[in-house]
C-alpha cells in the first residue's frame, strides 16, 4: 500500500512524503528543517524511513531547509544537474550534503522507482517527479508555466497526481501585485492557473488517474474552494462522477493530518 502525505504546499513552502512498504521519500524541503521534522512527527512518520530527498528546483519555497535537514539525518539529495549547481551557489547544499544527479534512467530505492521530467519555470533546470511502486504510479508537477508535452506524457496513467492550480486569473489581474509580477506568473515560465489545470484533469481520468491533489495555491490570488470548484465543474461537465471516477482534494498550506492512500 502506498501513501502520500502533503506536509506543506504553497508559496510559503512545499514538501511531500511518499511511502511504499514502510519506506519513503521527500519531494522538496521548502520549510526549515525544524518545521519539516515537526510535520513528519505530527503525522507519525519516522524520519528513519526517509530514504532520499528529491528537489524539484532551487527556489527557497522548495529547497529552503534541505541542507540542514539532509545533513542532520544523513539523507541523500537528488536533483537535476542544473538544480544542484544552483543550490550550491545559493548555499542550499554544501560540501557535507550527499548530493546526486538523477539520471535519465531514474533512481531505484527499495520498492520505488523515481523518474524526473522537465518543467517550464524560471529556474535553472526544474523538474517534476513520477514514482512507480509495484502496481501503482504517483506523479507531482507544480511550478508549471504551461502543460508541456513532456509533463502531459509523464502524468498520463498515474493513479495519483499532485498538480499545480496556482491562481485564479481574474483575482490575479485585479489584485495588488505589480504588473511585472502578474506578467511573470501568467507567462510560460510562471505558474499554472486554475482554468488550465482543470481543463487537463478529464484527460487524466480517461488515462486511469483516480486521485487528484491540487497544489501550490497562491495565498493572494486564489482560494481553496475556488480551485476545487473549478476543477470539479470541469470534471463533472465531462460526465465524470466525484468519489466514483475520481477523488479531489486540495493540499493544505500546513499539514493537517490528511493523507492519500493508493
Q: What is the pLDDT of residue 256?
A: 86
Q: What is the pLDDT of residue 144?
A: 98
Domain hosting 213: range is 2-261
Residues in the chain, pLDDT under 50 = none
Residue 198: which CATH number? 3.60.15.10
> What are the strands, taking DSSP E only, across the chain?
2-8, 15-20, 23-27, 50-54, 77-79, 99-101, 107-109, 112-118, 127-133, 136-141, 160-164, 211-215, 247-250, 260-261
Provide CB contacts within 8 A for 250, sequence distance 6+. 165, 213, 214, 215, 217, 224, 227, 228
Residue 50 DSSP symbol: E
* pTM (global) more than 0.85: yes
**DSSP assignments along 196-255, one per residue:** HHHHHHHHHHHHT--EEEEE---SSS--HHHHHHHHHHHHHHTT--BTTTBEEEE--SB-
Number of domains forming the structure of the chain: 1
Q: What is the pLDDT of residue 87?
A: 98
Residue 196 contacts residue 147 (beta carbons within 8 Å):
yes
Q: What is the pLDDT of residue 1?
A: 85
Amino acid at each position: 500500500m502506498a501513501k502520500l502525505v502533503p506536509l506543506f504546499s504553497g508559496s510559503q513552502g512545499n514538501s511531500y512524503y511518499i511511502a511504499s512498504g514502510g519506506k519513503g521519500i521527500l519531494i522538496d524541503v521548502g520549510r526549515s528543517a525544524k518545521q519539516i521534522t515537526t510535520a513528519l512527527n505530527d503525522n507519525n512518520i519516522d524520519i528513519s524511513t526517509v530514504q532520499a530527498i528529491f528537489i524539484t528546483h532551487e527556489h527557497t519555497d522548495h529547497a529552503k531547509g534541505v541542507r540542514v535537514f539532509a545533513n542532520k539525518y544523513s539523507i541523500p539529495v537528488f536533483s537535476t544537474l542544473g538544480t544542484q549547481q544552483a543550490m550550491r551557489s545559493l548555499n542550499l547544499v554544501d560540501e557535507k550534503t550527499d548530493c546526486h544527479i538523477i539520471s535519465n534512467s531514474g533512481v531505484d530505492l527499495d520498492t520505488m522507482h523515481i523518474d524526473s521530467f522537465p518543467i517550464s519555470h524560471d529556474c535553472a533546470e526544474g523538474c517534476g517527479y513520477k514514482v512507480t511502486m509495484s502496481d501503482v504510479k504517483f506523479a507531482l508537477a507544480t511550478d508549471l508555466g504551461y502543460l508541456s508535452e513532456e509533463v502531459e506524457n509523464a502524468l498520463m496513467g498515474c493513479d495519483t497526481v499532485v498538480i499545480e492550480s496556482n491562481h485564479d486569473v481574474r483575482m490575479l489581474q485585479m489584485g495588488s501585485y505589480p504588473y511585472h509580477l502578474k506578467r511573470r506568473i501568467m507567462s510560460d515560465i510562471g505558474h499554472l492557473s486554475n482554468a488550465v489545470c482543470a481543463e487537463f484533469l478529464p484527460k487524466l481520468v480517461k488515462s486511469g488517474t483516480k486521485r487528484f491533489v491540487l497544489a501550490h495555491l497562491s495565498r493572494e490570488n486564489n482560494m481553496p474552494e475556488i480551485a476545487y470548484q473549478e476543477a470539479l465543474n470541469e470534471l463533472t461537465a465531462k460526465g465524470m462522477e466525484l468519489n466514483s471516477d475520481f477523488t479531489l482534494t486540495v493540499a493544505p498550506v500546513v499539514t493537517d493530518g490528511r493523507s492519500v492512500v493508493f
